[in-house]
Amino acid sequence: SNPFEVKVNRQKFDILGRKTKNDVGLPGVSRSKAIKKRNQTLLKEYKEREKTNVFKDKRFGEYNTKITPEEKMIRRFTLERQQNYGKKNIYNLNEDEELTHYGQSLAEIEKLNDIVDSDSDTEERGTLSAELTAAHFGGGGGLLRKKVSSEQQDEEEEKPKSRKELIEEMIAKSKQEKQERQTRRESALELTEKLDKDWKEIQTLIARKTPKSERKDKEVEKPKPDEYDMIVRELGFEMKAKPSERLKTEEELAKEEQARLQKLEADRLRRMRGIDEEANKKRPSHMSADDLADGFILDKDDRRLLSYKDGKINIENEEEGEEEGEEEEEEEGEEEDNENEEEGQEESASEDEEDGAADGHSDLESDLESEGETAENKGEKKHKANENESQNVEKLDPKREAAKSELPYTFAVPESYETFKSLLAGRTIEQQLIILERIQKCNHPSLAVGNKAKLEKLFGFLLEYIGELATMDLPELRTIDKLVLPLYNLCQMFPEAASDSIKFILRDAAHDLEEVIEVKGRATFPGLDTLIYLKIVSLLFPTSDFWHPVVTPAFMYMSQLLTKCRITTLQDVIKGLFICCLFLEYVSLSRRFVPELINFLLGVLHISLPKNQAQGYTVVHPFTPVGKNLELLLVCDKEDLKSWEKQNVPLSMVTRLKEISRTEINHTRLSCLALCFDLIKKCAALYESLPSFHEIMHPVRILLAQHMPVNEYPEKMQEWYHSALKELENKIKHYTPMICEKKKPVPLKQYTPKIVKVLEFGRKQASSKKEQERKQLIQRHKRELKGAIREIRKDNQYLARMQLSEIMERDAARKRKVKELLGSLATQEGEWKAMKRKKWKN
Amino acid sequence: QLPTGLYKKVLVILHDSVLPYMNDPTLMMDFLTVAYGIGGAISLLALNGLFILIHQHNLEYPDFYKKLYSLLDPSIYHVKYRARFFHLTDLFLSSSHLPAYLVAAFIKRLARLALTAPPEALLMIIPFICNLFRRHPACRVLLHRPGGPADMSEDPYIMEEEEPSESRALQSSLWEIQSLQNHYHPDVAKAAAVLNQSLSEMEDDISGLLELSASELFDKEVKKKAVDVPLEFEQVRGLFGKKNDIFAEHFSLD
């Protein structure tokens, strides 16, 4: 370009290897460019600063330079035609002139000429009746005949009349035909429906496992071409159905499940050791895999688990219930999608009706409707294989259907415990489960805002209900057994609320205990409900954690029970042993040491001995070496000893014992003793690894080996006894002297300077990549800021320049106008003066 | 000879409502000595008055420590006067002039008895033992014996021995505390784990721990706020539906 326009940035020193970007500049060019740009943007804006309306050029292709003018015109024309098409102007008479022939629109005849009516394909083809030809091509014939008739003069004046008759006849005929066709179609429809039903039945049997070819054969056997057609189409539909996600095979599912469990187990172990709590805290994103913060994931999880079970084992009743619930939820989802507000009415609606309703929305033709329905079902079924199966099972099970129809589908979460209780009152266990399931599904936290709090309350109600069931005279433990499932599910959804409510119950129980101790000086074992709660804790929470917000208080409470409560009756012994079992279960994985457990078992053994035998061991509180409650478990009756058989101790015995005969009491005593032996055996296995195992078990061993009247016991009991003693005695004694862990030596403070390696002079030394990036970003930001400020300054300068030029222009114009006016006035004045002078002269 | 109830009542108030107002407290000497010899809770209570006599009135009590040693039995962790007893024991054992074998015997016996103790007592006794170690560094062989025999088939300590000097406590190690590191209560386990490392110089203050009760412990645990609550991942099948459920073997739901 022009060398005078180039500005060279001269460099003072040439440095080898350095690339310079800005050694030459074109100031003039860049300035003009900037001004041009401002002219296009800033100036425009400035000029339109007080205008609100905009002019828009909507002409087609006005600014498109690629299109030639001719093409543009053509396009515009077509556009105009398209816009006008379909718009019928009633005042425009020219627009819709329709050519008719015998009162029929010619255009329509033309259209219909080639297309055979779908209804008429059953008619015999090729044999065109005279009437038909007359109707279709009748004009010609009629005209011809007319000509003939006109030639034959007025002889046949009635010709037009006869023609009229002919037409009427024809119309009647066609009507009749139409009716026939209709009846035929209806019968066909009926048949297809029937077939459809048959097909559905078959479908449940083959459950989509038979290969397609086989099924096709089956269908082909059906004689009617109509149905065959239908099946073919159906199969076509099926083929076209979108490929859903591949169902995972059993092994894959098993593998996944295994991986999941492994991960959870590793997590549990980490918590059990309680070492890296802090490390865990640092990473809040890493939550325990159990922790399912939102219920949505949980749902998914459930489903997978179920499908896995589906494949492997037969569906159990409860699971079926669950699946049902899921299905219902989906149905509800559908309803919501369709914005049907008929939830209330839905209660009595059967499945098929619902299907029908769903199909009512589809715009399929009537004879395709049934096919469409099945096809749609297919699609659905492909996606939800497990639900489908359960559906089938369900259909085969009329009883369940009936039971289901009794219960409403939607439930509001009860607001108080009373309403909750009345909801469940008088229902069977299964129904109660279904009700709970539905409450849970209908009020899923993802559906509405307040549902979370409501369901959290539900957990409390359920706990209370269980407690009530357990405190009844005849505790309904079977019901509780089933109710644990929804409890578990709720707990998985809301861990915090669940832990809070259980903690609340535990705290109440502990405070009661404390009060009783303060008032009476001694405590009694709590009721069965508390025991059940403690058991539930072990079901809901991992008991192996080093510290757990619920489990640790439960531990404390149980410890208090075992050390503070007096043993006065057989029930107390049973309760105490129950708690011992709980302790054992709690620590079964973590193998933690529970002194109270050993003490209690020792005490129980002690009270099974005849009096005055305590030598070589000491029992501790609540048992006493002497006192009135000794020999509580002693059985002297020989016959009872003989007739005893090991039985599971029924838990209901805790609440009622009076109506039991003496023999039974004796038998229960022996069962307790056997239980005690077994627990000792389990303890021995559990604590084997403790360094002072022998010291811990010493009293128990002495009591067992030296004081037990073994020979009096029945054989079974002797077995229990010997297995326990063997477990205790065949442990090797092994002691290694303790050695402290070596302390890490603390390094001395040193004063040598810190030496940092300098790799490159002149460059900034960045410590890490992150730091470097940060610096870079800061620099870039600075540069951008500077640039923006400069731009704004230039904008302002430009604007000021424009304003100034505007003002100057305005001033110049004014000056010019003033000058003009003055000029004209001057000439006027001159003329006037000249005239005056003339007059004067004259 | 007084009935037991009255004995206890007298002894409970003796040290602060009777002895300070007597002109000659040594008159109580015989009464207290007899009470100390009775054993059980009465001995524990007599200890307090006896201590005042020994401490302020120059009472010479032969075999005092032997007697104290024999007072230690499993019930001391469960009785009502636990706090008072351990307060006094702490005083008696605070002298740095006690022979190492005696302190070691006490430590070993207390630790052995701790195997049957409830958590609130354990939380007290473990710092107590730590303090004894700090006062008597010679006893640290119980915790740290680098050149000892690698394998022993018996604990050298003899529990049944009445005489502390014969109990061979110094040849033993404190395996009991090692066992307690597996205690179910997290605080106990932590406290016991302290003995794994070499001890710090400062003594722990156990005066606050002496009166610890189970319900206080419970309340403390309940009030702790949890950040998140880990959950059981094993699917529930029923009340007794766990794998290898102990309950299913022994209890029925009827």
**Contact check, Cβ <8 Å, B218/A482:** no
Instruction: Supply φ then ψ for residue A811, to 5 degrees.
Output: -60, -45
**Largest Cα–Cα separation, chain A:** 177
Instruction: Supply φ then ψ for residue B183, to 5 degrees.
Output: -65, 150
Whether residue A560 is predicted with pLDDT greater than 70 in this model: the reply is yes
3-state class (DSSP) for residue B251: strand
Contact assessment for residue B209 and residue B124, using Cβ atoms and an 8 Å cutoff: yes
What interhelical angle do A429-442 and A317-338 show, nearest 10?
30
For the stretch A491-524, pLDDT in tens is 888 888 888 899 999 999 999 988 988 888 778 8
Higher-confidence position of B232 and A305: B232
**Contact check, Cβ <8 Å, A738/B115:** no
Contact assessment for residue A113 and residue A137, using Cβ atoms and an 8 Å cutoff: no
**Chain A residues with beta carbon closer than 8 angstroms to that of B232:** 290, 488, 539-542
**Contact check, Cβ <8 Å, B229/A648:** no
**Chain B residues with beta carbon closer than 8 angstroms to that of A306:** none
For the stretch B29-69, pLDDT in tens is 888 888 888 877 788 888 888 888 888 888 888 888 888 88
Report the chain B residue with the minimal C-alpha distance to residue A557: B218
Higher-confidence position of A240 and A286: A240
Arithmetic mean of pLDDT, B88-114? 89
E strand intervals along B27-146 = none
Q: Does an H or E element contain A714, and which?
A: none
Arithmetic mean of pLDDT, B179-188? 90
DSSP string for residues in A463-476: HHHHHHHHHSSS--
**Contact check, Cβ <8 Å, A539/B239:** yes
Distances, alpha carbon A737 to alpha carbons A257, A495, A825, B135, B142, in Å: 44, 45, 130, 22, 8
Q: What's the CA gap between A29 and B79, in Å, rounded?
A: 102
Arithmetic mean of pLDDT, A783-798? 96
Tokens of A741: 């862990």
Q: What's the CA gap between A838 and B251, in Å, rounded?
A: 148
Beta bridge partners of A8: A24
For the stretch A251-267, pLDDT in tens is 788 888 888 888 888 88
**Contact check, Cβ <8 Å, A621/B75:** yes
Contacts of A575 (CB under 8 A, 6+ apart): A525, A526, A531, A654
* Residue B22, number of CB atoms within 10 A of its CB: 10
Find the angle CA(A764)-CA(A766)-CA(A769) to the nearest 5 degrees. Answer: 135
Instruction: Supply φ then ψ for residue A532, to 5 degrees.
Output: -65, -40
Whether residue A398 is predicted with pLDDT greater than 70 in this model: the reply is no
**Chain B residues with beta carbon closer than 8 angstroms to that of A478:** 253
Radius of gyration of chain B (CA): 22
Strands A649-650 and A104-105: unpaired
Q: How confident is the model at residue A281 (pLDDT cuts 50, 70, 90)?
A: very low
Q: What's the CA gap between B107 and B125, in Å, rounded?
A: 10
Q: What's the CA gap between A430 and A437, in Å, rounded?
A: 10
User: For residues B222-245, b (16+ Cβ closer than 10 Å) or e, as one string?
Assistant: beeebebbbbbbbebbbbbbbeeb
Q: How confident is the model at residue A372 (pLDDT cuts 50, 70, 90)?
A: very low
Q: What's the CA gap between A134 and A128, in Å, rounded?
A: 10
* Residue A477, number of CB atoms within 10 A of its CB: 22
**Contact check, Cβ <8 Å, A737/B228:** no
Whether residue B124 is predicted with pLDDT greater than 60 in this model: the reply is yes
Distances, alpha carbon A521 to alpha carbons A240, A287, A514, in Å: 80, 45, 10
Domain boundaries defined on chain A:
407-493, 494-730
Q: How far apart are the first and last CA of chain A?
A: 77
Q: What's the CA gap between B95 and B143, in Å, rounded?
A: 21
**Chain B residues with beta carbon closer than 8 angstroms to that of A488:** 232, 235-236
Report the chain B residue with the minimal C-alpha distance to residue A688: B179
Structure confidence at residue A84 (pLDDT): 77
Q: What's the CA gap between A266 and A242, in Å, rounded?
A: 40
Arithmetic mean of pLDDT, B204-226? 84
Structure confidence at residue A613 (pLDDT): 60
Arithmetic mean of pLDDT, A73-80? 89
Arithmetic mean of pLDDT, A531-556? 89
Tokens of A740: 């402290």
Whether residue A351 is predicted with pLDDT greater than 80 in this model: the reply is no
B194 alpha-carbon distance from chain centroid: 17
ipTM over 0.85? The verdict is yes
Distances, alpha carbon A70 to alpha carbons A62, A63, A75, A83, A412, in Å: 12, 15, 9, 20, 71
**Contact check, Cβ <8 Å, B235/A305:** yes
Residue A410 DSSP label = -
**Chain A residues with beta carbon closer than 8 angstroms to that of B176:** 692, 695
Find the angle CA(B239)-CA(B244)-CA(B246) to the nearest 5 degrees. Answer: 65
**Contact check, Cβ <8 Å, B119/A559:** yes
Contact assessment for residue B41 and residue B79, using Cβ atoms and an 8 Å cutoff: yes
Distances, alpha carbon A453 to alpha carbons A445, A458, A541, A572, A603, in Å: 9, 9, 21, 39, 46
Q: What's the CA gap between A329 and A335, in Å, rounded?
A: 10
Q: CB pairs below 8 Å between A and B: how many?
A: 258
**Contact check, Cβ <8 Å, B184/A261:** no
**Contact check, Cβ <8 Å, B238/A484:** yes
Beta bridge partners of B251: A649
**Contact check, Cβ <8 Å, B252/A503:** no
Structure confidence at residue A135 (pLDDT): 53
Q: Look at residues A78, A80, A76 and name the one whose alpha carbon lies nearest to residue A61.
A: A76
Q: What's the CA gap between A415 and A551, in Å, rounded?
A: 29
Q: Does an H or E element contain A65, and which?
A: none
Contact assessment for residue B211 and residue B81, using Cβ atoms and an 8 Å cutoff: no
What interhelical angle do A451-471 and A477-493 show, nearest 10?
160
For the stretch A198-243, pLDDT in tens is 888 887 776 555 444 444 455 445 455 577 777 777 776 665 555 5
HEC sequence for A80-103: HHHHHCCCCCCCCCCCCCCCEECC
Tokens of A148: 């003939």
**Chain B residues with beta carbon closer than 8 angstroms to that of A541:** 229-232
User: For residues A87-117, b (16+ Cβ closer than 10 Å) or e, as one string?
Assistant: eeeeeeeeeeeeeeeeeeeeeeeeeeeeeee
What interhelical angle do B119-135 and B82-92 show, nearest 10?
10
Report the chain A residue with the minimal C-alpha distance to residue B73: A618
One-letter amino acid identity for A42? L
Report the chain B residue with the minimal C-alpha distance to residue A616: B160
For the stretch A81-139, pLDDT in tens is 888 776 666 666 665 556 667 666 666 666 655 554 444 444 444 445 555 555 555 44
Per the listing, tokens 């009694």 go with A524
Residue B240 DSSP label = T
Contact assessment for residue A327 and residue A390, using Cβ atoms and an 8 Å cutoff: yes
For the stretch A124-137, pLDDT in tens is 444 455 555 555 55
Arithmetic mean of pLDDT, B225-254? 79
Arithmetic mean of pLDDT, A301-307? 39
Structure confidence at residue A762 (pLDDT): 58
Q: Is the dihedral of CA A546, A548, A550, A553 positive or negative?
A: positive
HEC sequence for A587-634: CCCCCCECHHHHHHHHHHHHCCCCCCCCCCCCCCCCCCCCCCCCCCCC
- The residue among A660, A738, A742 with the most chain B CBs within 10 A of its CB, best to mutate, is A738
Q: What's the CA gap between B232 and B230, in Å, rounded?
A: 7
Average pLDDT, chain A: 74
Q: Look at residues A357, A402, A389 and name the one whose alpha carbon lies nearest to residue A376.
A: A357
pTM of the model: 0.60
Q: Which of B77, B182, B221 sits opposite A553 (nearest CB)?
A: B221
